[in-house]
Structure 1
Amino acid sequence: MSDRTEVEARLRAEQQRGDSILAALQEGVVMTDTLGNIRYANPAAAEFLGRGEELVGAHLFELVSFETEHDQWSAGHFLDSDEIHGMDGVLRNQRNQALEVEITMLHVSRGEPDERLVFVIRDDSERRQQEQHLSWQATHDSLTGLLNRRAFSAELVKWLAQASVLEVPTVLMLIDLDHFKPVNDQGGHLLGDELLRQLADILRQAVRLTDSVARFGGDEFAILLPACGLERGAMLADQVRAGIEQLQLEQEGRRFGVTASIGLTDLSAGDSSPRGALARADEGAYAAKARGRNQVVAVPSTEE
């Protein structure tokens, strides 16, 4: 075997090994010319592109579109870039699938006759689901699925900033359960947890999609009602109070339930921080307890 023949045989073997590695990858690998015509695609790429038959010769951007959060990327966007690392987006293919992917692109031999674009496409759905789950955990109460105090406080700050421009004020409602300790002590913590979960459902069903509902911790809850007005908020608070009063759980022949003392206030342009609004709503809840519990007391932001 001549030296040239031996070199060619080694190159063919290396090419075969490279092809085998690319074929085994879970990432899609696509190489196109500067017009977008596919020159190479591994089997994983065919799945991403939604086309099982031979891809070589097809036009990549006729098969798929790629959208980021702010833009739709065309062939021109990629041609203008030397390289792109880990760009998140949604790939839409001929099967009408919208796939969450991460794209890496290398611009090879730019300006040369053999100029090529090499795309690596990775399924990014699992990572994004994990991020969404972690984000949800950071902002929600694990028992009830309601917002936690920190996330609710962020919403409260946002609506306080809008207080001066809203014609109808936003209303803050604090809900303090009455007689919850006996449920835990006599019925057990599992029963107490179930009561809190069902109570959370009552609160969710009572409000609009634009409203925010939170568990502040223990047996204390809060609701934020944007552009609601104190009169309407008081009516809603009484509906919530009645719904909580009707909630009854049975265990070993005994019935357990709670009532709620509810305080509410309207947000005003004079509130420099959440503290003042929370203090007024809390004052209303304490007043409701002092008057015998199972009541609603509104504390306006300003004296009439």
Structure 2
Amino acid sequence: QTDVLGRIDFVNPAFENIIGRPTSDLQHTYLINGVFEADREAVLSGWKQSLRNKEVFRGRFRIPSQGERDLIWGDVMTSVIETPDKTLGSITVIRDVSRELEVEEALREEQQRAENILGVLQEGVLMVDIEGRIRFANQTACQFLGTEGDCAQQNFFDLVEIWSDDKLLTHNDFLTGGDIDSLYATLKNRNDGRYDIDLTVLHVRQGRYNERMVFVIRDDSERRRQEERLSWEATHDSLTHLLNRRAFSASLLKCQGEITEPAARSVLMLIDLDHFKPVNDEGGHLLGDDLLKRLADLFKDTVRQSDTVARLGGDEFGIILPMCGLERAEALAERIRERVEELRIEQDGRSFGVTASIGLTELVPGDRGPREVISRADEGSYTAKSRGRNAVVVVPAPS
């Protein structure tokens, strides 16, 4: 408490503890002198403004102390004490907020650090409220959303569509669902941008009015391309880009499982090239590889899109002809045989080529697996070779 001149008349023990000085040192000193010098002018200005407006003065400023700290931050409130006849002085209440301000500053620094880190992440990170309004988003997230600059305060679900397993995931799906650790999905934004993403969703204060959802969006395109490449390499021949033996066997097994005694049965064709070794030995392996690639293209161009063509190894190829019928398959095999015979490659004044020994057999319900069918077709190609090569031989399936 001060007199009308601003001199201290009384302080309580709490004030003594705050500034580390006893009452005897403080009595009759001016209260304003207890304000840190650098803040004094602003405090006086605020005090005068409050007096003119007949308001309670409120301020936050530094105060020198002889306690644990040299300077403390005080949250201060000062009011005039007066009667109808005269002013008696003032009363001041001070609260030490030094520790609170330190915590607030530390939190601000941590928040700024977190925002700086989030800002440079390759993952998009955004937080939305229960209405879908974006409360925070880093720059990467805004790029996914197809917005220019800051995308905060816009509605996330108005900006994008998220699809998973051919299903459009709605605002309500995310709001009522649980946390999502890793969801492979496709994100489409309003600018026709399309991204393969790996999505994580976390709920904060779920079920409460101030619930938030945090979305972490990772571009998954490269991983999926790698996965597709590895899958392709595991099922295809690297030279001809046809299916390999493993994938061919799987396709044949699938085709056998779909046999329902249709009017036209499925047929297996095995093609064994004749005289391929001399091409390699005399023309070189590069010439042999070129011939194999051209033959692969020839086979694919001759058959239907629904047919399966594979390189089974070396100079052996296989073709599955679903619901083709033996008569049509035999005519197709003859056309392939003729085209193979016509294919020639010129090198250093010499002409190189091969012919084909082809075996055909139908797929029937009594077959126990791919090996039995392949064995019959193999028998056909061996018979063709024994008859002088460059021929098509049909091996009947057991009745």
Equivalent residue, structure 2, for 1:184 = 280
Residue of 164, 189, 193 corresponding to 2:260:
164
Aligned pair count reads: 303
Unaligned regions of 5+ residues in structure 1, if any? none
Query: How do 1:215-226 and structure 2 match up within 5 A?
Result: 215-226=311-322
Unaligned regions of 5+ residues in structure 2, if any? 1-72, 74-97
What letter corresponds to residue 186 of structure 1 in structure 2? E
Equivalent residue, structure 1, for 2:138 = 42
2:312 aligned counterpart, secondary structure: strand
Query: How do 1:44-83 and structure 2 match up within 5 A?
Result: 44-83=140-179
Equivalent residue, structure 2, for 1:283 = 379
What letter corresponds to residue 212 of structure 2 in structure 1? R
Q: CA deviation at 1:300?
A: 2.1
Equivalent residue, structure 1, for 2:232 = 136
Distance 2:261 2:149 in 1: 59
CA contact (8 A) 2:139 2:150 kept: no
Query: How do 1:1-304 and structure 2 match up within 5 A?
Result: 1=73, 2-302=98-398
What letter corresponds to residue 62 of structure 1 in structure 2? D
Q: CA deviation at 1:8?
A: 1.8
What letter corresponds to residue 181 of structure 1 in structure 2? K
CA contact (8 A) 1:250 1:256 kept: yes
Distance 2:302 2:355 in 1: 16
CA contact (8 A) 1:164 1:268 kept: no
Equivalent residue, structure 1, for 2:28 = none
Structure 1, residues 214-241: CA drift from partner, whole Å, max 9, x if none?
1110110000000100000011111111
Distance 2:104 2:246 in 1: 66
2:143 aligned counterpart, secondary structure: helix
Distance 2:213 2:323 in 1: 53
With normalisation by structure 2, the TM-score equals: 0.74
2:198 aligned counterpart, secondary structure: strand
Structure with the bigger RCO (C-alpha within 8 Å, sep 6+) is 1
Structure 1, residues 146-198: CA drift from partner, whole Å, max 9, x if none?
10111000111111112234331001000000000101111111111111111
Distance 1:279 1:3 in 2: 86
Distance 1:141 1:9 in 2: 63
Q: CA deviation at 1:84?
A: 0.3
1:65 aligned counterpart, secondary structure: strand
Distance 2:349 2:265 in 1: 46
CA contact (8 A) 2:130 2:210 kept: no
Distance 2:121 2:237 in 1: 40
Alignment identity in percent?
54
Which moves more between the two structures, 221-230 or 48-57?
48-57
Question: What's the C-alpha RMSD, in Å, of the aligned pairs?
Answer: 1.3
CA contact (8 A) 2:130 2:212 kept: yes
